[in-house]
């Protein structure tokens, strides 16, 4: 082999090694970015739905409920039980009849769901099927306050957002992993 061929082969081997190293570090970072974006977007969408429910209750001077749903795109959306998960779907509606149930007199205001992969969802103090906002703003229903923990695993560790809903009906996202009293 001539010196030129050896030099050219060495350059190709170096280029392939650099490409392999770039992929080894770049692919997990890109996946982690997508996971972080998905969890943050899911938390933001649910937070926006809580804000919408409270705002509509105040503006319309009626009770407005947000409930978990797995049928948000159907012609007849229905509330799901407490074992469903918020990112799978939710319905915001004017609740004029039995609290937490969509009936013919109720008006659906909005539906939504998270988009993208979310590995785990937990609620504190306990899972709830719905939250009702009173016409003056506070919440009523099975729970008086709520924490919704939404998380997904990363290459190292996990990424979590916590939606905090207070007794007064105020909602915010906590990045620290816990709601402040």
Q: Tens of pLDDT along 61-100?
A: 999 999 998 776 666 788 888 888 888 889 999 998 888 8
Single pTM value for the model = 0.80
Select from 74, 50, 67, 135 the least CA-distant residue to 101.
Answer: 67
Q: Helix or strand or coil: residue 92?
A: strand
CA distance 178 to 55: 25
* Beta strand pairing call for 90-94 and 139-140: unpaired
**Residue 61: per-residue pLDDT:** 95
CB-based contact 113:72 (threshold 8 Å): yes
Q: Per the structure block, which two tokens stand in for 61?
A: 């001077």
CA distance 27 to 25: 6
Q: Per the structure block, which two tokens stand in for 50?
A: 């809580």
CB-based contact 92:56 (threshold 8 Å): yes
CA distance 160 to 24: 25
Domains of the chain listed by start with CATH number: 3-174 (3.55.40.10)
The side-by-side arrangement of strands in the sheet containing 130-133 is 107-112, 90-94, 64-68, 130-133, 139-140
**Residue 91: per-residue pLDDT:** 93
**Residue 94: per-residue pLDDT:** 95
Report, as ranges of residue numbers, the positions in the chain whose pLDDT lies below 70.
1, 3-11, 13-28, 72-75, 141-143, 155, 181
CA distance 92 to 77: 11
Bond preceding residue 125 cis, omega within 30 of 0: yes
CB-based contact 63:84 (threshold 8 Å): no
């Amino acid at each position: 082999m001539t010196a030129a061929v050896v030099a050219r082969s060495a350059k190709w081997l170096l280029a392939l090694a650099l490409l392999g190293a770039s992929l080894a570090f770049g692919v997990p970072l890109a996946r982690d970015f997508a996971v972080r974006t998905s969890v943050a977007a899911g938390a933001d969408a649910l937070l926006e739905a809580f804000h919408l429910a409270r705002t509509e209750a105040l503006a319309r001077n009626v009770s407005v409920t947000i409930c978990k749903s797995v049928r948000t795109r159907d012609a007849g959306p229905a509330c799901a039980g407490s074992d469903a998960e918020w990112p799978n779907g939710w319905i915001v509606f004017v609740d004029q009849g039995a609290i937490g149930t969509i009936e013919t007199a109720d008006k659906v205001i909005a539906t939504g769901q998270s988009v993208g992969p979310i590995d785990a969802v937990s609620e504190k103090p306990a899972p709830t099927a719905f939250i009702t906002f009173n016409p003056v703003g506070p919440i009523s229903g099975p729970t008086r306050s709520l924490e919704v923990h939404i998380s997904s695993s990363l290459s190292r560790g996990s990424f979590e957002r916590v939606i905090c809903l207070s007794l007064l009906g105020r909602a915010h996202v906590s990045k620290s992993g816990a709601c402040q009293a």
